[in-house]
Amino acid sequence: MRRDIAFIFPALLVVGCSSDARPANLGPCDTADGQCIFRHDTFGDEQLWTDMLRLHEVAQTLSPKVALSVGLKVDAEAVPPDVLASADLDAPATTVALISLDAVVGLRGVVENGTITKLGITCALCHSTVDNSVAAGIGKRLDGWPNRDLNPGAIIALTPGLPALAAQLAVTPSAAKAALSSWGPGRYDARFNQDKESRPVLLPPAYGLRDVALETFTGVGPVSYWNAYVAVTQMGAHGNFKDDRLKLDIRQEPDRVTPMLPALRDYQFSINPPSPPVGSYDAVAAARGKALFEGQARCAECHTGSSFSDAPKLHTAAEIGMEPNEARRSITGMYRTTPLRGAWQHPPYFHDGSAATLLNVVEHYDQVLRLQLSASQRADIAQYLRSL
């Protein structure tokens, strides 16, 4: 990594500062600016990440090299050349400088006299990455792409405030630490603090959702319902969330979440899935795969419409041969048909990552649904999935 720095500089020198709107000093975004909300708004969640977990103290001591190793990403467009000209990826001071520039994707902090005094997280932490155009982990933002390198459990487990969080959950600090440390990169359990089971799911994309009626792997509700749940109960946002089914009625005034939801939803709906790279699949095989997908292989019985999902219809674990626990833990008890556009971009597959490749997905269905597809038919369907 150290050797890359000389190579990084010239590229960074030309990118300069991005012009996108960023609220000053952790202030809220404009309620009409969905992109700003998605990228930069913490909704007041410093009450969790600073006041309780003290993530800012950890960030103060992390070199960019270590930060990149837990999957954090640097928005190269937010970094002025003079800062990068003196950047040392082994020096924690560089991390502090990057945070002061709001250049660490999904983290927002206040830096006073070289010290991070407040730090919060944004939606972009888990649902954005960068295009690595400058170096691994450093480049232009890719909003909506799941950050499968990010290890949220490990990051929380590193915080000095973990015992306070454990106390709130009524588990021992060592049990909390063991659970969080077991999740691994690209995974998070958004129900751990409700039922204390530890069964993380993959961080899903936040693109391609415009025509999808229900969100999450288990279809718990429309996008704004889930956004409010995540913001208030997971990110620690300062706002309101009520769901009688979950026996939750959280009220914190001023509510920094609810006024943001319409623009945040519209922004997510505006993010299209990425097209497959040119030459990344065999078009002739994909055409054969499409016919199988819509016919003999029965995929289109559930993967229907422009987004390839029949939501709001839901399915039992047994129907598709899934592990049952995620459905059991959810208020719906079922699985939503995952939309498939952009699937090429985010292996592994299924909510638990049990299929490493798209071919493994097809093999799974071939067995569970007793499709009796030949090897070349399975390969053709996988090529079709790569083309979506």
Binding site for ligand HEC (CB under 6 A): 121, 123, 125-127, 152, 188, 190, 201, 203-204, 206, 209, 215-218, 223, 226-227, 230-231, 235, 264, 268, 293, 297-299, 301-303, 315, 319-320, 322, 335-338, 340, 343, 349-351, 358, 361-362, 365, 381, 385
Q: How far is CA 197 from CA 174, 219, 328, in A?
A: 15, 19, 11
User: Considering beta carbons, is residue 96 or 228 the nearer one to ligand HEC?
Assistant: 228
Closest approach, Cβ 316 to ligand HEC, in A, equals 9
Question: Distance between CA 124 and CA 180 in Å, rounded?
Answer: 20
Closest approach, Cβ 16 to ligand HEC, in A, equals 28
Closest approach, Cβ 76 to ligand HEC, in A, equals 22
Closest approach, Cβ 382 to ligand HEC, in A, equals 8
Closest approach, Cβ 139 to ligand HEC, in A, equals 20
User: Considering beta carbons, is residue 281 or 293 the nearer one to ligand HEC?
Assistant: 293
Question: Distance between CA 85 and CA 321 in Å, rounded?
Answer: 53
User: Considering beta carbons, is residue 180 or 201 the nearer one to ligand HEC?
Assistant: 201
Closest approach, Cβ 261 to ligand HEC, in A, equals 9
User: Considering beta carbons, is residue 89 or 126 the nearer one to ligand HEC?
Assistant: 126
Question: Distance between CA 71 and CA 61 in Å, rounded?
Answer: 16
User: Considering beta carbons, is residue 40 or 303 the nearer one to ligand HEC?
Assistant: 303
Q: Which of 198, 193, 199, 224 is nearest to 209 (CA)?
A: 224
- 54: buried, middle or exposed (CB in 10 Å: 19+, 13-18, 0-12)? middle
Closest approach, Cβ 50 to ligand HEC, in A, equals 15
Q: Which residue has the tokens 């649902």?
A: 127
- Spatial neighbors of 273 by CB under 8 A, at least 6 apart, are 205, 207, 208, 341, 342, 345, 388
In contact, 55 and 159? CB cutoff 8 Å: yes
User: Considering beta carbons, is residue 217 or 241 the nearer one to ligand HEC?
Assistant: 217
Identify residue 42 by its one-letter amino acid code: T
- 280: buried, middle or exposed (CB in 10 Å: 19+, 13-18, 0-12)? exposed
- 310: buried, middle or exposed (CB in 10 Å: 19+, 13-18, 0-12)? middle
Closest approach, Cβ 229 to ligand HEC, in A, equals 9
Question: Distance between CA 202 and CA 32 in Å, rounded?
Answer: 30
In contact, 182 and 198? CB cutoff 8 Å: yes
- Residue 220 tokens read as 């718990």
Closest approach, Cβ 214 to ligand HEC, in A, equals 7
- Spatial neighbors of 213 by CB under 8 A, at least 6 apart, are 222, 309, 311, 312
User: Considering beta carbons, is residue 9 or 225 the nearer one to ligand HEC?
Assistant: 225
User: Considering beta carbons, is residue 92 or 196 the nearer one to ligand HEC?
Assistant: 196
Question: Distance between CA 388 and CA 380 in Å, rounded?
Answer: 13
Identify residue 184 by its one-letter amino acid code: G
User: Considering beta carbons, is residue 51 or 211 the nearer one to ligand HEC?
Assistant: 211
